[in-house]
Structure 1
Amino acid sequence: MSHHTEQADQLSPAETEDKIWKLADDIKICMLTTWSGSEQHSRPLTAHVDRDAHALYFLVDEAGHKNEEIEKYPEVSCAFVDKGSNNYVVIAGEAKITNDRARIAEIFSSFAKAWWDDENDPAIRLLTVSPSRGELWDGPGSAVAKAKLALAAATGGDIDMGETGKTSM
């Protein structure tokens, strides 16, 4: 069994962030995990990835425990899996539920018709996740990207390259 150094697999922080955004957009379906105060809950949702807005958007129903959980504990994680190529991405950030009808209409798709008749259904809400960190496992089970962007540009902080497969977003 040949061993290669992780150094050879290193992506720069910018490359890591690019790859995380691209994989999330390509995979689309994620497991969104919330916290109730005593336990985690996960459910599959379709992500609408908008890197320019630095956001993941989801259409959700106005009813449901996740909405109450997000109001109390807005930190969530979104896990994307592409089994075919062994790519795994986790994006964590702060979630917010709004009644942004323009955005809801913009991202409503034929896939959403399984739950709602059309984008004007008053029960639809917009769940927005603003990413703060991401993790990437790329390829055959190996954590490739070694980067942690501490939002250096926004916060003036230093970039810490010490953690495998993680980047602040």
Structure 2
Amino acid sequence: MSHHTEQADQLSPAETEDRIWKLANDIRICMLTTWSGSEQHSRPLSAHVDRDVHALYFLVDESGHKNEEIEKYPEVSCAFVDKGANDYVVIAGEAKLSNDRAKIAEIFSNFAKAWWDDENDPAIRLLTVTPSRGELWDGPGSAVAKAKLLFAAATGGDIDMGETGKTRL
């Protein structure tokens, strides 16, 4: 039986970022958590992951408490779980609601038909999450290596490097 040191299991910041984006894209369904000002609310949503533009997209209904919560408290977290592989990813960032009909039509899928007839339903809204932090608990088995990173804002803005184990990319 081979023993790995913790150091050997550590991914580089670039590898960590690659793995976080890949797992989010592969798993797709996440628990999106919002804050009401007094409590958290979580609900499952299907993510459209677009690393090229540094965004997670979700189709949501125009009604619902989450929309009010997001407008007041835009910081959200998205937890992705692949239980079979013991892979866990959390992406946190700023959420924004819009009525971008072109993007809604672009990412509308068969999955969305469970809630809306088609992409032209006027009740559909686009929820865009711009990631600022990512955490990864990576299998195999129970030897889960944890890695954290800070995503550099798409604008190239400076990020606080205060905490050990987090990396600016």
Partner of 2:164: 162
In structure 2, stretches of 5+ residues that fail to align are: none
1:146, distance to aligned residue in structure 2 (A): 3.7
Alignment-derived partner of residue 86 in structure 2: 86
Structure 1: gaps (5+ residues): none
| Cα distance, 1:72 vs structure 2 | 0.1
Residue 110 of structure 2 is matched in structure 1 by: 110
- Aligned in 2, Cα 1:157/1:56: closer, same or farther, shift over 3 Å? closer
1:151 aligns with 2:152: yes
**What corresponds to 1:62 in structure 2?**
62
Q: Which residue of 2 aligns with 1:30?
A: 30
Per-residue displacement from partner, 1:54-112 (whole Å, max 9, x unpaired)? 00000000000000000000000000000110000000000000000000000000111
Aligned partner of 2:122 in structure 1 is 122
Say which is worse superposed, 24-33 or 4-13, in terms of deviation: 4-13
Distance 2:71 2:127 in 1: 11
**CA distance, structure 1, for counterparts of residue 63 and residue 13 of structure 2:** 38
SS of the equivalent of 2:90 reads: strand
Find the counterpart in structure 2 of residue 48 from structure 1: 48
Match of 1:7, SS state, is helix
Whether contact under 8 Å (1:152, 1:158) holds in the other structure is: no
Q: Percent identity?
A: 79
Q: C-alpha separation between the residues in 1 aligned to 2:38 and 2:62?
A: 22
User: TM-score, normalized by length of structure 2?
Assistant: 0.89
TM norm structure 1: 0.89
Q: Report the aligned-residue RMSD.
A: 2.4
State the number of aligned residues: 167
Aligned partner letter, 1:39: E
Of the structure 1 ranges 153-162 and 114-123, higher mean CA displacement relative to structure 2 is found in 153-162
Q: CA deviation at 1:144?
A: 2.1
Give the residue type in structure 1 aligned to 2:33: T
Structure 1 residues 88, 147: closer, same or farther in 2, change over 3 A?
closer
Contact preservation (8 Å) 1:95, 1:128: yes
- Structure 1 residues 128, 141: closer, same or farther in 2, change over 3 A? farther
Whole-Å separation in 2 of the counterparts to 1:41 and 1:161: 27
